[in-house]
């Protein structure tokens, strides 16, 4: 077992000596580990972590909580495989690792700026085509990777089988009760047309959106289901993009008053413990 451990370490070091510092996904290719094999990717992270000659630095320090839909189990995201593959620079020279980490950070920043601009253009189009002053009735929030400044542009296959440019553009439109059904429908229809438009070249962006009124927000803060918990988490962590700032502040007030923020903080602390346990288990297994 020790011999196999040493052979794997040697393979990693040889790859880094030949090509220099690289992002985790490149190292995976060099040592021939497919992304789908999560266990091997986690072991690769562990081997790099345990080797004192290897330097590893994350381009994004952000770790947010993800709640598993079916079990309610809280985890930190990005997962170990994704964090290693998409946000970590690995190498034998500390200076080179730091420089490539700075380059990766700049690359991620450019992607986030571009996707935020796309989101703003979508909302601008909607505002220009409703015939109403949307700031009276709506607030638009930006969620997902872009909200955490962690967007990537690696091609990925969507649910429809199409290839998209990395992270989704996740939008949430919350409206007041007096918005009127006609206006709400029109906004929903306009968002859908933009979703279809952005799927096509040159954009090739997947746009997801949720549309709900303030009463639904109040119901979800009851947290009677895992879906409600996830909805509260997303609303709390989203960025205000456009619209009625007072309505957005009301959403945050409701989350606080109903105890959703306290509950989410408890789950986040549990997610940190779960992640620490997971990492330690990987490292302990490799030491055997």
Spell out the per-residue pLDDT of the chain, length 288, in tens. Answer: 444 566 678 889 999 999 999 999 999 988 876 555 788 899 999 999 999 999 999 998 789 999 998 888 999 999 999 999 999 999 999 999 999 999 999 999 999 999 999 999 999 999 999 988 889 999 999 999 999 999 988 887 777 777 788 899 999 999 999 999 999 999 999 999 999 999 988 889 999 999 999 999 999 998 889 999 999 999 999 999 999 999 999 999 999 999 999 999 999 999 999 999 999 999 998 876
Report yes or no on 243 lying in a domain: yes
Asked if 61 and 148 touch (Cβ cutoff 8 Å), the reply is no
Domain of residue 69, residue span: 2-92
Write down which residue in 32, 65, 92 finishes a domain. Answer: 92
115 and 246 in a common domain? yes
159 and 79 in a common domain? no
Report yes or no on 264 lying in a domain: no
Report yes or no on 280 lying in a domain: no
Write down which residue in 45, 60, 92 finishes a domain. Answer: 92
252 and 156 in a common domain? yes
Whether the pTM exceeds 0.85: the reply is yes
164 and 49 in a common domain? no
| Dist. CA 170–CA 193, nearest whole Å | 15
154 and 81 in a common domain? no
Report yes or no on 269 lying in a domain: no
198 and 130 in a common domain? yes
208 and 73 in a common domain? no
* pLDDT for the residue 34: 59
Residue 140 three-state SS: strand
86 and 122 in a common domain? no
Report yes or no on 285 lying in a domain: no
62 and 12 in a common domain? yes
122: domain CATH number? 3.30.460.10
Report yes or no on 167 lying in a domain: yes
Report yes or no on 268 lying in a domain: no
116 and 250 in a common domain? yes
Report yes or no on 235 lying in a domain: yes
Asked if 141 and 174 touch (Cβ cutoff 8 Å), the reply is yes
Helices (H), ranges, the chain: 2-19, 24-30, 38-50, 80-87, 94-129, 144-147, 181-199, 214-220, 226-237, 245-257, 260-287
CA torsion sign, 178 to 181 to 186 to 188? positive
| Dist. CA 93–CA 98, nearest whole Å | 9
65 and 33 in a common domain? yes
Count how many domains the chain has: 2
- Burial class for 201, CB neighbours closer than 10 Å (0-12, 13-18, 19+): exposed
CA 251 to centroid of chain Cα atoms: 22
71 and 17 in a common domain? yes
């Amino acid at each position: 077992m020790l011999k196999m451990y040493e052979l794997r370490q040697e393979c990693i070091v040889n790859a880094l000596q030949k090509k220099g510092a690289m992002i985790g996904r490149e190292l995976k290719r060099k040592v021939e580990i497919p992304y789908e094999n999560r266990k091997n990717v986690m072991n690769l992270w562990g081997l790099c972590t345990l080797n004192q000659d290897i330097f590893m630095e994350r381009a994004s320090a952000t770790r947010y909580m993800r709640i598993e839909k079916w079990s309610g189990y809280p985890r930190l995201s990005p997962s170990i495989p994704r964090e290693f593959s998409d946000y970590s620079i690995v190498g034998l020279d500390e200076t080179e690792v730091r420089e490539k980490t700075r380059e990766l950070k700049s690359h991620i920043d450019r992607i986030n700026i571009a996707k935020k601009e796309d989101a703003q253009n979508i909302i601008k189009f909607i505002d220009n085509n409703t015939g109403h002053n949307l700031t009276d009735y709506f607030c638009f929030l930006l969620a997902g990777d872009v909200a955490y400044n962690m967007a990537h542009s690696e091609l990925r296959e969507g649910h429809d089988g199409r290839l998209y440019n990395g992270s989704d553009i996740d939008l949430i439109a919350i409206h007041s009760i007096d918005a009127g059904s006609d206006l709400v429908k029109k906004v929903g229809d306009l968002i859908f047309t933009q979703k279809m438009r952005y799927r096509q070249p040159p954009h090739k962006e997947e746009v997801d959106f949720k549309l709900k009124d303030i009463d639904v927000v109040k119901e979800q803060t009851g947290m009677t289901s895992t879906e409600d918990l996830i909805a509260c988490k997303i609303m709390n962590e989203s960025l205000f993009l456009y619209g009625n700032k007072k309505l957005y502040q009301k959403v945050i007030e409701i989350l606080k008053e109903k105890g959703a923020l306290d509950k989410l903080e408890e789950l986040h602390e549990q997610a940190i413990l779960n992640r620490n346990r997971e990492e330690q288990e990987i490292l302990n297994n490799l030491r055997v």
